[in-house]
Structure 1
Amino acid sequence: MTIREQTEQSELQTLSQGAAKACLSRGRDLEEPQCELRTVYQRDRDRILHCNSFRRLMNKTQMLLSPQGDHYRTRLTHTLEVSQIARTIARGLRLNEDLTEAIALGHDLGHTPFGHAGERALNEVCSFGYRHYEQSVRVVEKLEKEGRGLNLTYEVRNGIACHTTGHSADTLEGQTVRVADKIAYLNHDIDDAIRAGILSEENIPWEVHVHLGNSKTQRITSLVTSVVHNSIDFITMDKTTDDTFNLLRTYMFATVYVDPVAKGEESKAEQLVKTLFDYYLKKPECLPEAYKMIVERDGLERAVCDYISGMSDRYATAVYDDIFIPKPWQVTPYD
């Protein structure tokens, strides 16, 4: 038996009945030889980890727009925190940790520059709308590897597509990432808001302190523990924990996520994205060569959307400056 086959046999013997087993995967769109060492889900995780879109997440906004400080979250650190929380839940429920990690690492690959401000902007200007979870799937299917895509398994792509709204994922691992994403962003957004002076621990509703705890660590532990103790056929929490979690989410959307300090620059970011979108629609010849190929295959608007959504915050700003900001006159000696 190869090492991969030994791992597959171990999954059949040790994972829970509802867990996704690598040897039972619905497979890839394009069949390819199996790896001697890694299962299909391990290969998917590695492909995501090594792709260009994953690396760009380190310079994409999470909550605070391009924060000046080493300890604020970016889209990349958010992704890693989601992965850690999801893996803890998967381990507690004896689910497939490799599949869970692959979905978590890929769930935000389609996020825009400037976080949800960029997403709102593209959703307004694109005739087909814009949803980052759909773009994440497009990234792994159509855009990575010079248009060839990563050829991921069905289960990973399904988990990415269903990580935020709409239908639940077909696997418990995908459902796990969905709840882990919410646990992660609410708690680390609180942490960042406190660090930025927007929020204090005392401002958080007292019910949250009573039922979930008085710190980020206590809250995450309470939420994860509830998920592990209450999930069997689907991923869920007990009612009290779920109600308190929803109360905390409502509080954050009513305060921090509309705070003028935290969100004061977002209108500028939205305008920047819209301006770039309009510019490339009018001047498609200025698109990079790789995106001109997408124009031929999927149309101009789709190509412009792909290009802008893949930009990091600083790259989008640099492109905007290069196009629209006048350059200083270069004075030569003796002029």
Structure 2
Amino acid sequence: MSVSPFRPVRAAYAADSDASRGRLFSEPGSPSRTKFQRDRDRIIHSTAFRRLAHKTQVFIPHEGDHYRTRLTHSLEVAQIARALARALGLDDDLAEAVALAHDLGHPPFGHAGEDALHVMMAPYGGFDHNAQTLRIVTKLERRYAAFDGLNLTFETLEGLVKHNGPLRLPDGSPTPRFAKSGVPAAILEFDALFHLDLARFASAEAQAAAIADDIAYNAHDIDDGLRAGLIDVVDIAQAPFLGDLAAEVAALRPGLEPARFVHELVRRLITRFIEDAIGESRLRLDAAGAGSAEDIRDGAAPMVAFSPAMTRLEAEIKQFLLHILYRREPLNRIRAQAAEVIFNLFPHFFGKPTSMPVDWAAAAQAAGGDDTRRARVICDYIAGMTDRYVLQEHRRIFGAAPELR
């Protein structure tokens, strides 16, 4: 019997749900789902996942219903991660779980909100959205009778923490990314309870989710930028790689209406990235002779990656978006207004925790004179807010809120 190219045989280096390192709190297995499927389902049913529907990706919700939110972005990342995992013979449920949860820790207002929270938390250990994701799935979600968090498997947790690579060097010191700030305290605290192998790579499934994030982010920001009128087709024609794709669409479908043209451009961009990642990853996996998931973790470099040529093109596209889109005046103005909302709310809650909901106020007051602990409670509260709720809170406390336009 032939094997469908869309359902390849599971590779030897794929993560194995039956051989999972388990959960922090032991639980009986499910008779109808694998451990990774159960993780995925818990993520989808979490409060934090639902909130992503009202958290900004790049464009604020006020600008229109057709632009990406953190939720739609996460769903698109999950779709790409599954496609990569299936093509490489990986466990697509694990890849999907990591992809769906990878943005849970993002605060309101996208990167503007993250930067503002990092400024406010600078005296108290800073803010890192990956560390915040870990706090959510191990502590802040309170749904189950037996434990806080979602009690996810080791494989999903390590994927969330290490999807961008190891956090420590083999000697235990931080990687260059954390050389100045150190590995976030939330990650170190949980690692002391449930070892996450911070000096090793995560599974190939987590690596697939990470590269899927890059693919979705670039492609969909181009899509939203064009639809919002912040990027013009003329700009695309002059951009590296994108210009070639635009010319290809124009040659095949001359006179195509703008909405269809944008979609044809974006779908080709996603396809080229995915196909390149599949081809390069197969080369790396074959060259490494990977025979188990542990071989992937012990690698000296990621096994799921773009080719050198596509890596250069991807960096050029990011630079193009940085200059043509992310630094555009409308977005700069909105980011400044959004940051000001957080700059106002944080010190207010710090000085008057009783203005927060009862549970949050009690947690902040329980910190007593421990300012770091109190600040973290306030950070958790603000980071969990949706864009519209944080504006509502600002309006309640200060009598007004910016329109973010």
TM over 0.5: yes
Which residue number corresponds to residue 113 of structure 1? 108
Which residue number corresponds to residue 272 of structure 2? 222
2:68 maps to 1:68: no
Which of 303, 307, 326 is equivalent to 2:381? 307
Residue aligned with 1:264, SS: helix
Which residue number corresponds to residue 158 of structure 2? 158
Provide closer, same or farther for how the CA distance between residues 28 and 308 of structure 1 changes in structure 2, counting only shifts above 3 A. Answer: same
Structure 2, unpaired ranges of 5+? 1-7, 168-199, 250-264, 286-302, 401-405
Listed as ranges, the matches of 1:1-335 within 5 Å are 14-126=9-121, 127-145=124-142, 148-164=148-164, 167=167, 169-204=201-236, 205-210=239-244, 215-232=265-282, 233=285, 234-292=303-361, 294-295=363-364, 296=366, 299-325=373-399
Amino acid at match of 2:357: P
Instruction: State whether residues 95 and 172 of structure 1, in contact with CA within 8 Å, keep that contact through their aligned partners in structure 2.
Output: yes
Residue aligned with 2:67, SS: coil
Amino acid at match of 1:238: S
CA distance in 2, matches of 1:17, 1:211: 36
Residue aligned with 2:108, SS: coil
Displacement of 1:293: 5.2
CA shift digits 1:148-171 (9 cap, x unpaired):
110001111111122357647410
State the superposition RMSD in angstroms.
Answer: 2.0
CA distance in 2, matches of 1:311, 1:280: 14
Displacement of 1:237: 1.9
Provide closer, same or farther for how the CA distance between residues 138 and 169 of structure 1 changes in structure 2, counting only shifts above 3 A. Answer: farther
CA distance in 1, matches of 2:363, 2:214: 33
Which residue number corresponds to residue 332 of structure 1? none
Displacement of 1:294: 3.9
Instruction: State whether residues 226 and 238 of structure 1, in contact with CA within 8 Å, keep that contact through their aligned partners in structure 2.
Output: yes
CA shift digits 1:247-290 (9 cap, x unpaired):
11121122211111233211111010111111110011222233
Displacement of 1:173: 0.6
Displacement of 1:241: 1.7
Provide closer, same or farther for how the CA distance between residues 165 and 199 of structure 1 changes in structure 2, counting only shifts above 3 A. Answer: farther
CA shift digits 1:80-123 (9 cap, x unpaired):
01001111111111110000111011001111111111000000
CA shift digits 1:22-57 (9 cap, x unpaired):
011111111111111111100000000001000000
Moved more, 70-79 or 255-264: 255-264
Displacement of 1:211: 7.3
